[in-house]
Amino acid sequence: MSTKYNVIWANVAEKDLINIIEYIADDSPENAEKILAKIKKQASDLYTMPERGRIVPELYDQGVLLYRELIIEPWRLIYRISGKEIYVLSVIDSRRNVEDILIKRFIDIC
């Protein structure tokens, strides 16, 4: 039997997802519902195979290996594994500069 992990959404990741879905719902509520279900399904699937996501390339280049991501076109779901917990940290549009977004968030936290 495989190990089961607990998937936990950080507040900022929940806000990311809400913003994405609200933006899409302005044009197509049906499409927003489908995308929400797709993103939530991909995230919940992490509870059995958390290492299936790749290490975030921009962070890997800086020697930071703790963060992984799932690509859910055109979004990147960034998460961290800690023991038996999976922390979903961000859902970012892959067409934007991830480094800029992460730096801004780190600055806003400090």
Structural domains in the chain plus CATH codes: 6-109 (3.30.2310.20)
pTM to 2 decimal places: 0.86
What pLDDT, in 10s, does the model give residues 35-77?
999 999 999 999 999 999 999 988 888 888 999 999 999 999 9
Peptide bond into 74 cis (omega under 30): yes
In which band, very low, low, confident or very high, does the pLDDT at 95 lie, cut at 50, 70 and 90?
confident
Residue type, 91: V
For residue 99, CA distances in Å to 34, 39, 60, 109 come to 28, 22, 11, 15
